[in-house]
Structure 1
């Protein structure tokens, strides 16, 4: 099973999510793929992801983390990291947010989730949650593929270089936060997932 996790103020309808879904449908139709819509409140987001995994028969204690792979973009990369550390599964991260509380603290206020059709607030309490949720160190860095572009105008890619030491890291010059030419990376991503 592969789960795609979108970034902040994004959804399962984002361009990358749709491109990934189409790629799996075409090339890996036997693999269960979900582009999951998650709440923007950090604890609720992780609870939603874990509930989805549990309903799909994937647990931390069942030793079946090998049947799961995550793809996360930006804040979704942070959430994917939290889940991968707990479940011991592989995760492919696209311009992931490292220490997202330091970035999102500049974006407090009211928002609206277009797919969940829910109004929500980004609060200082959420920043505290994000800080507490962030794994101090990675237990299995080899479980991560990290795709970075130096032209990311939202996040400093060098933070990810430092945090994900020991992971398979691909840094491309230029680009932007949404990761230009993402579709060209999908074969690399699916190979890294190592799902039959």
Structure 2
């Protein structure tokens, strides 16, 4: 059985709309085990939890936003494929504007974003991709949180699809699930 991981974005969870849509779609493929994990809020703890959760490298990783960044870090370490949806590039620069305390409404948890987390993110960021062909990057130009052009530049050489309009949640995500599954299951 092939394993595919789904990594949610910042302040999201395995119960987000994209995660639930992905889980429902992959249930149609009994030869695939999709795992959607709830990750800790600090970057180092999130990576440690991912490494602890894996018995073997997954066949592929799907990551959205900050989950796309973590998917990139993990894919570079493990040499597996990754499909990224509006991925965060250099998230230490974006999240620096969100230092403070927050409450997660779904998980009912309080968490803090601290300056030290920005250093962790910067340290985790791969300077360049070893094999961009292992990536499918889906971007919407209307993303109000992240500049899609940074991802176009960073993932140069990957399969990149730029969709006009949309937003950070990736409007119409469910229509891209067959393409995502095909990419993830490619051998």
Q: Distance in 2 between matches of 1:115 and 1:37?
A: 11
The reply on whether 1:11 has 2:13 as its aligned counterpart is yes
How many correspondences in the alignment?
A: 185
The reply on whether 1:104 has 2:106 as its aligned counterpart is no
TM-score by length of 1: 0.91
In the alignment, is the contact (CA less than 8 A) between 2:59 and 2:185 conserved in 1? no
Q: Which sections of structure 1, spanning at least 5 residues, go unmatched?
A: 59-64
Q: Distance in 2 between matches of 1:50 and 1:118?
A: 23
Q: Distance in 2 between matches of 1:114 and 1:31?
A: 30
Q: Distance in 2 between matches of 1:98 and 1:193?
A: 21
CA RMSD of aligned residues (A): 1.3
In the alignment, is the contact (CA less than 8 A) between 1:161 and 1:169 conserved in 2? yes
The reply on whether 1:125 has 2:116 as its aligned counterpart is yes
The reply on whether 1:140 has 2:131 as its aligned counterpart is yes
TM-score by length of 2: 0.95
Q: 2:70 aligns with which of 79, 92, 106?
A: 79
Q: Which sections of structure 2, spanning at least 5 residues, go unmatched?
A: none
Deviations 1:115-153 (A, max 9, x none): 554322100000011011100000111110000000000
Q: 2:163 aligns with which of 172, 185, 191?
A: 172
Q: Distance in 2 between matches of 1:195 and 1:87?
A: 16
Shift of 1:192: 0.4
- 1:16 aligned counterpart, secondary structure: helix
Shift of 1:110: 0.8
Q: Distance in 2 between matches of 1:89 and 1:46?
A: 16
In the alignment, is the contact (CA less than 8 A) between 1:11 and 1:114 conserved in 2? no
Q: Distance in 1 between matches of 2:142 and 2:10?
A: 19
Q: Distance in 2 between matches of 1:38 and 1:195?
A: 26
Once the two structures are superposed, the pairs formed by residues 21-170 of structure 1 within 5 Å of their partners are 21-26=23-28, 28-53=29-54, 57-58=55-56, 65=57, 67-114=58-105, 117-170=108-161
